[in-house]
């Protein structure tokens, strides 16, 4: 058995990483060769005012290492953030798959999860309108299994052959590298209109799903149809889902754009802080399964990655839970060097002929070769499996393993034909023996040619507020497109999805309104609307606006009660330090009106202060107005009530004003759990 394994707890991934972790604090400084350094500020010079000498090995080493600190950023998904955690299955999945990590509900499997945006560079703002990557590496005892998904269950294209075209179109335009982290430009929409298989995913990208409130509050999808294979060799088609325990929630577009300026790290900060606070993000793993013999039972092709399987037709079975419970020690070593690959599978999980998946199976290793500089990236601590790995692969840049012996080929007699292959019973991976018999052709199956039915189903499933947001999103994106022809092509394309939608944004961009199309699709899938998601006040961040002279006795009690509901409160005032109540007790101020902004919070509670402090109230009113216009819950007690009355907000949905602390806490907690109050009229 590998000595890196089973050191204590789990299957040893944490301990394995610790072997490579170092702490430079309280140590003597040395060069990389271990020689102690006596001076680290001045290069070695010929005379006090003279030139630096070539023999200064310390300077040369320090500078050379620095010059090589960067590696190419990911061509897509460059901006991301990750955390460690564990996964546990609820009950054995033996009837469906032999995958070892899905058998024993008492055995946790370590995981590493990286969330990302797709289009932007490594330093871009995190609230871009974009799909989010949701990539999970399971360190199983049978090898690494990577589920490399997105928060949108379908994709723009049906064949990986078109991926470079898609990415060229959505990235900043090559002649001036604009716009950063945005699809609101000519080339993206030109691609959409001329590659109409993108219709369904574009609907998702224009929906609230593309501006999540948090990585902790978004779903994840494996997108492709994979296979589960059990010990008897029976196969089920399977789609994977991650369901966030806190529900699926989004921000509004105006807010997203402002967050990008106020805190471009908003999503990573949220994840990092939740884990540091012990509010571990949780996601349930769900699977939709279709037995092999039912492959053709549906009105869409189940291998088409632009189609989802409506949950009402193929129920999602929740089979386990993932908990993210540990932040990384070092972003570069762990997140930047993590190499995910949909082709990293374990026995019991297999591929299908989805042509998008087939192409991905090539692309991911290929990209790591350039990004991580050679074929040995599997040896990097974050990528190492927890089980032993032995084969005849040798050498290459950065090789760390020291392979003993002179035999590095198969078959051999000098090493008794080892390392030896394993039978299926011994755990050897055996590809599912699917019968394939056909012509070599460059063509797409007719069963992949309906691009609009599910796009319409998505539209039909949205609430009124969600539909409005989508019309606005199209209007924004196409409003930024310069080509009138591209604008009109997109209007005409989406008239095939829904006339109200296409006319809605055509009007906003001054395009010709499309003719009414005879679209007979009435199907809905309620599971697609975020209106129907879990609502909970847990971990919601409330800005508490306090000024000197606030009603301290009651307000402190209210804050404690809110916190017992899992709500996090942060005090905002006009200056840092302590804010003093009318009975002289104090509370610490975490932010000023200058360092905080309503867009960084889920809700606002105004308890106010001395009523005569006009400047304070002016700033507070601005803060609250903005939160109100983003449909956020707003609460007020004491002097805060007058502020809301003055701004005519007091009668609006999601606004809670009460002098009675008990009633206030109950109603405000409900309002916070509701997330947003779309029924509110915003002037
Ligand atoms: Fe991809 C990265 C997800 C289609 C080629 N992809 C990447 C990441 C995620 C996805 C989450 C970031 C992994 C990380 O955090 O390191 N990609 C998807 C999904 C797709 C998809 C859900 C469609 C269902 N991707 C796709 C295609 C190709 C690629 C069709 C090419 C044939 N993807 C890549 C890549 C990346 C990548 C170029 C960039 C960095 C990396 O792989 O490691 O190889």
CA torsion 477-479-481-484 (nearest 10°) is 130
Enumerate long-range contacts of 625-630, CB under 8 Å, 24 or more apart. Answer: 626/597, 626/598, 626/599, 627/543, 627/598, 627/601, 627/603, 628/652, 628/655, 628/680, 628/682, 629/254, 629/682, 630/251, 630/252, 630/254, 630/255, 630/598, 630/599, 630/676
State residue 199's pLDDT score: 98
Residue 295 and residue 152 in one domain: yes
| Residue 283 assigned as binding residue | no
State residue 552's pLDDT score: 94
Residue 565 and residue 510 in one domain: no
What's the CATH code of the domain at 368? 2.40.180.10
When divided into structural domains, the chain yields a total of 3
Provide the whole-model pTM: 0.97
| Rounded Cα–Cα distance for residues 409 and 415 (Å) | 10
Residue 527 and residue 539 in one domain: no
Q: Is residue 410 part of a domain?
A: no
For residue 60, count other CB atoms closer than 10 A to its CB. 16
Higher pLDDT: 479 or 648? It is 479
Secondary structure of residue 617 in the 3-state scheme: helix
> Taking Cα atoms as reference points, which of 1, 350, 4, 6 lies closest to residue 145?
350
Atom 34 of ligand 1, residue of closest alpha carbon:
364
**Is the distance from CB of 133 to CB of 80 less than 8 angstroms?**
yes
Catalytic positions are: 77, 150
Instruction: Indicate whether 612 pLDDT > 90.
Output: no
Distance (angstroms) between ligand 1 centre and the Cα of 364 equals: 7
Distance (angstroms) between ligand 1 centre and the Cα of 42 equals: 45
Residue 628 and residue 508 in one domain: no
| Residue 268 assigned as binding residue | no
Query: Is the CB–ligand 1 distance for residue 79 below 6 Å?
Result: no
Distance (angstroms) between ligand 1 centre and the Cα of 373 equals: 18
Tokens encoding 654: 């999601």
| Residue 297 assigned as binding residue | no
Q: Is residue 233 part of a domain?
A: yes
Q: Band of the pLDDT at 75, cuts 50, 70, 90?
A: very high
Distance (angstroms) between ligand 1 centre and the Cα of 177 equals: 22
Domain end marker among 531, 556, 572 = 531
Instruction: Indicate whether 7 pLDDT > 70.
Output: no
Q: Is residue 40 part of a domain?
A: no
| Residue 360 assigned as binding residue | yes
Which letter does DSSP use for residue 648 in this model?
T
Residue 526 and residue 539 in one domain: no
Distance (angstroms) between ligand 1 centre and the Cα of 584 equals: 57
Domain end marker among 350, 374, 398 = 374
Instruction: Indicate whether 2 pLDDT > 60.
Output: no
Q: Which helix (H) or strand (E) holds 190?
A: helix 186-194
| Rounded Cα–Cα distance for residues 118 and 17 (Å) | 28
Q: Is residue 510 part of a domain?
A: yes
What's the CATH code of the domain at 578? 3.40.50.880
List strand residue ranges (DSSP E) for 358-476, in order: none
Query: Is the CB–ligand 1 distance for residue 149 below 6 Å?
Result: yes
Atom 26 of ligand 1, residue of closest alpha carbon:
360
Residue 545 and residue 517 in one domain: no
Residue 150 and residue 235 in one domain: yes
State residue 237's pLDDT score: 98
Instruction: Indicate whether 9 pLDDT > 90.
Output: no
Residue 219 and residue 349 in one domain: yes
| Residue 394 assigned as binding residue | no
| Rounded Cα–Cα distance for residues 209 and 194 (Å) | 24
Query: Is the CB–ligand 1 distance for residue 225 below 6 Å?
Result: no
Q: Is residue 607 part of a domain?
A: yes
Question: Cα(first)–Cα(last) distance of the chain, in Å?
Answer: 68
Of 4-8, 297-301, 648-652, the range with the lowest mean pLDDT is 4-8
Residue 144 and residue 227 in one domain: yes
Q: Which residues 6+ apart lie within 8 Å of 92 measured at CB? A: 102, 103, 104, 105
Query: Is the CB–ligand 1 distance for residue 155 below 6 Å?
Result: yes
Q: What is the pLDDT of residues 358-377, one digit of tens each?
A: 999 999 999 999 999 999 99
Residue 298 and residue 247 in one domain: yes
> Taking Cα atoms as reference points, which of 128, 132, 332, 322 lies closest to residue 215?
132
Strand order in the sheet with 591-592: 591-592, 568-573, 541-546, 603-608, 634-636, 655-657
Tokens encoding 123: 């330093």
State residue 519's pLDDT score: 84
State residue 341's pLDDT score: 98
Residue 527 and residue 540 in one domain: no
Question: Which of ligand 1's atoms lies nearest the C-alpha of 115?
Answer: 15
Instruction: Indicate whether 4 pLDDT > 50.
Output: no
Q: Band of the pLDDT at 8, cuts 50, 70, 90?
A: very low
Q: Is residue 60 part of a domain?
A: no
Q: Is residue 72 part of a domain?
A: no
**78, 362, 373, 657 from 137: Cα distances, Å:** 17, 18, 21, 47
Model ipTM over 0.95: yes
Work out whether the CA dihedral 668, 671, 673, 676 comes out positive or negative: negative
Phi, psi (degrees; rounded to nearest 5) at 456: -70, -40
What's the CATH code of the domain at 514? 1.20.1370.20
Q: Is residue 70 part of a domain?
A: no
Residue 521 and residue 548 in one domain: no
Token look-up 């929740």 returns 318
Domain membership of residue 515 as a residue range: 450-531
Domain end marker among 531, 563, 597 = 531
Instruction: Name residue 317's beta-bridge partners.
Output: 287
**Is the distance from CB of 511 to CB of 477 less than 8 angstroms?**
no
Q: What is the pLDDT of residues 412-427, one digit of tens each?
A: 999 999 999 999 999 9
Ligand 1: which of 75, 76, 155 to mutate, judged by most atoms within 8 Å of the beta carbon?
Answer: 76
């Amino acid at each position: 058995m590998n000595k890196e394994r089973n050191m204590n707890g789990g299957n040893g991934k944490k301990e394995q990483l610790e072997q490579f972790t170092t702490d430079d604090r309280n140590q003597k400084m040395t060069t990389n060769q271990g020689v102690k350094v006596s001076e680290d500020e001045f290069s070695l010079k010929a005379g006090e005012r003279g030139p630096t000498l070539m023999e200064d090995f310390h300077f040369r080493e320090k500078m050379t290492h620095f010059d090589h600190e960067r590696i190419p950023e990911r061509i897509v998904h460059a901006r991301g953030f990750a955390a460690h955690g564990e996964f546990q299955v609820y009950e054995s999945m033996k009837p469906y798959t032999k995958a070892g990590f899905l058998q024993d509900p008492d055995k946790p499997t370590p995981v590493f999860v990286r969330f990302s945006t797709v289009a932007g560079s490594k330093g871009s703002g995190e609230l871009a309108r974009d799909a989010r990557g949701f990539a999970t590496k399971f360190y199983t005892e049978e090898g690494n299994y990577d589920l490399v998904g997105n928060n949108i269950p379908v994709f723009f294209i049906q064949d990986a052959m078109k991926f470079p075209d898609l990415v060229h179109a959505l990235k900043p335009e090559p002649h001036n590298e604009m716009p950063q982290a945005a699809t609101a430009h000519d080339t993206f929409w030109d691609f959409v209109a001329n590659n109409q298989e993108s219709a369904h995913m574009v609907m998702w990208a224009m929906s609230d799903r593309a501006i999540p409130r948090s990585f902790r509050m978004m779903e994840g999808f494996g997108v492709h149809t994979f296979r589960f294979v059990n010990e008897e060799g029976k196969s089920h088609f399977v789609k994977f889902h991650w369901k966030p325990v806190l529900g699926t929630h989004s921000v509004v577009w105006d807010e997203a754009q402002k967050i990008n300026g106020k805190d471009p790290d908003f999503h990573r900060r949220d994840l990092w802080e939740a884990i540091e606070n012990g509010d571990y993000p949780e996601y349930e793993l769900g699977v939709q399964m279709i037995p092999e013999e039912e492959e053709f039972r549906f009105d869409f092709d189940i291998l088409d990655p632009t189609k989802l399987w409506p949950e009402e037709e193929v129920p999602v079975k929740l089979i386990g839970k993932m908990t993210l419970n540990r932040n990384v020690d070092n972003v570069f070593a762990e997140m930047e060097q993590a190499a995910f690959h949909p082709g990293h599978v374990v026995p019991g999980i297999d591929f299908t002929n989805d042509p998008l998946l087939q192409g991905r199976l090539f692309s991911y290793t290929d990209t790591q070769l350039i990004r991580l500089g050679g074929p040995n990236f599997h040896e990097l601590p974050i990528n190492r499996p927890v089980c032993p790995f032995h084969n005849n692969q040798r050498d290459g840049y950065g090789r760390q393993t020291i392979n003993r012996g002179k035999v590095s080929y198969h078959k051999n007699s000098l090493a008794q034909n080892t390392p030896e292959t394993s039978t299926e019973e011994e755990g050897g991976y055996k590809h599912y023996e699917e019968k394939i018999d056909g012509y070599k052709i460059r063509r797409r199956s007719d069963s992949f040619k309906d691009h609009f039915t599910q796009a319409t189903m998505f539209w039909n499933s949205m609430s009124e507020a969600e539909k409005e947001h989508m019309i606005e999103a199209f209007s924004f994106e196409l409003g930024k497109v310069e080509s009138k022809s591209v604008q009109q092509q997109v209007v005409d394309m989406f008239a095939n999805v829904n006339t109200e939608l296409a006319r809605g944004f055509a009007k906003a961009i001054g395009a010709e309104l499309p003719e009414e199309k005879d679209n007979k699709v009435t199907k809905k899938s309620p599971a697609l609307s975020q209106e129907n998601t879990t609502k909970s006040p847990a971990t919601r961040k409330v800005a508490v606006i306090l000024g000197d002279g606030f009603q301290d006795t009651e307000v402190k009690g209210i804050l404690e009660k809110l916190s017992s509901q899992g709500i996090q409160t942060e005090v905002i005032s006009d200056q840092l330090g302590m804010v003093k109540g009318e009975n002289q007790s104090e509370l610490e101020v975490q932010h000023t009106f200058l360092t905080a902004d309503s867009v960084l919070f889920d809700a606002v509670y105004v308890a106010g202060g001395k009523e005569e402090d006009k400047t304070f109230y002016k700033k507070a009113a601005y803060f609250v107005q903005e939160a109100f216009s983003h449909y956020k819950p707003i609460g007020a007690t004491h002097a805060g009530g007058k502020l809301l009355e003055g701004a005519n907000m007091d009668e609006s949905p999601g606004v809670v004003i009460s002098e009675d602390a008990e009633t206030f806490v109950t109603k405000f907690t409900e309002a916070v759990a509701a997330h947003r109050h779309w029924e509110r009229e915003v002037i």
